[in-house]
Amino acid sequence: MTFPCRILKVNAKRERHIHTFSSREMPGNGTPSLACSAMPPLCPPPGQELILLLEGSQHWLIEDDTYSDVWEAANLAFLNVGNHIRVIHTIDYHYDMLAKVMITWIPLYLTGKALPFFVSPHTQSGSINQGLLLLKDKMLLQSMSPADESFESTTLATNNEHLLSESYRLLQKSMRYAIPLFSFYYRAEHSKYGIFLSQMVKLDDDQYLFMRFPFVNIIPSIQIQGILTDNSINGETRNKAMQTCRALKTDVRRDSGHHFRYLIPQSQLAELLSQEYIMLDVVSFIVGQPLYISNKVFRDLLKKMVTMLSQDSHQIIREVVLLEDVHVKQLKNLNMLVKKNTCLSIFNSPEHYASGNEPLVMTTTESTFVHSSYLFCEQLWNNTLPQTREHTYVARQLEILMETVPVPTSQQES
């Protein structure tokens, strides 16, 4: 028995395509076929399910920034019309590659419409890496490449009904052995995230905080209480929020020989300085609603941070660096807290907070990915010049930012 299929021979270094389906190619309008385009594609109608099984390094996804941007836009467009994606990763990449690849996928996972899973590397087929992409009942792509990191690959494409049905059955079987990679916390589950944070900080380990600004660690507890009261956060919710904030502050001040390093993206900090009101990321997640401070209050916090950095002994900020865009372009607006052998918490800058359908935060304790993310942050840290990590240098850079980014017109003093 034979089945019709297309065979595509691809050299990944020379040729890249976004394989998508346009609405005119769905059943009822003709035979589905591949649409390859460098522009964001037309999307299929809502209700489609895309399942992927990915093996190998996926270096093709991160080696070209332009391609990565088009790839992300195409997938977000697919999700935004009401479709869903399930991805099975094999956690078998090199540590230095794993985090870079997964970070590329995270904007899709933060929509809540793409779900990641992982399976043990021993499920691989040995000398061959394969990738399966199944648009349920529509199209199957199967790629095969040597496991020796070769750029050569062969992709088979088919819309044969029997093969589609059998592939779906086999992928569903694989899903039974796959483990969810992340835990998702939505707005309605804010108290659960507070509990997670409180438990996480009890575990003492080296850690990196990659964040646009460490609000909880800089704002005094009495001021956080005032912000909660001003926003009508009272009773049990306020008490739990303050308990979590105090636990976070204790984690920062712990002097056990483990380092707590701040990685602050300078461009995100400059963007905050230009806003009239700034959302307190973590505190908002803990209480389940957006909380804001004025631009003036934010600048006062920066001035306080400058003062802290000028002191010889303080317990809140021991190691910090402001990162240039060249170091963090892949992370875009992502923020994360990673403990070396413990856990990872990752979230977007909270412009999407208004939607209760998107997760606010994702966390994982999968050891391979946690360790890879830690090494990713460590590489960011080590790629900076030692003098840029000196407190006096960071303090002066903060002062320059406040001097060069104008105060919003509505908050300028008359």
Give the whole-angstrom CA distance, residue 338 versus residue 258: 13
Question: Which residues, at least 6 apart from 177, have a Cβ–Cβ distance to it below 8 Å?
Answer: 119, 123
Give the whole-angstrom CA distance, residue 146 versus residue 261: 39
**Does an H or E element contain 133, and which?**
strand 128-135
Give the whole-angstrom CA distance, residue 174 versus residue 383: 39
Q: Calculate the dihedral angle through the C-alpha atoms of 99, 100, 105, 110, rounding to the nearest 10 degrees.
A: 60
- From the list 43, 39, 32, 42, the residue with the least C-alpha distance to 17 is 39
- pLDDT at position 170 is 84
- pLDDT at position 62 is 77
Give the whole-angstrom CA distance, residue 296 versus residue 334: 25
Strands 114-119 and 84-90, bridge-based pairing: parallel
Contact 306, 78 (CB under 8 A): no
Q: What is the pLDDT of residues 163-184, one digit of tens each?
A: 889 888 888 888 888 899 999 9
Contact 197, 342 (CB under 8 A): no
Residue 391 carries which side chain, given as an amino acid letter?
H
Give the whole-angstrom CA distance, residue 41 versus residue 78: 9
Give the whole-angstrom CA distance, residue 147 versus residue 128: 5
Tokens linked to 42: 């037309």
Tokens linked to 65: 């920034």
- pLDDT at position 146 is 60
Tokens linked to 270: 């400059």
Cβ atoms within 10 Å, residue 177:
11
Q: What is the pLDDT of residues 65-89, one digit of tens each?
A: 888 888 899 999 999 999 999 998 8
Taking CA atoms, 19 is separated from 42, 136, 295, 336, in Å, by 11, 15, 45, 31
Give the whole-angstrom CA distance, residue 217 versus residue 65: 34
Q: In the chain, what's the furthest Cα-to-Cα distance?
A: 83
DSSP letter string over 308-325? Answer: HHHSS--SS-SEEEEEPH
Task: Give this prediction's pTM.
Answer: 0.81
Give the chain's residues under pLDDT 70.
1-43, 56-57, 92-96, 121-129, 144-153, 312-315, 326-327, 350-356, 413-414
First to last CA, the chain: 83
- Using the Cα atoms of residue 75, residue 40, residue 36 and residue 127 in order, give the sign of their dihedral: negative
- pLDDT at position 188 is 81
Cβ atoms within 10 Å, residue 39:
9
**Does an H or E element contain 39, and which?**
none
- pLDDT at position 18 is 37
- pLDDT at position 90 is 79
Cα angle vertex 380, ends 367, 396, to 5°?
Answer: 135
- pLDDT at position 360 is 83
Read off φ and ψ for residue 23, nearest 5 degrees: -60, -30
- pLDDT at position 175 is 85
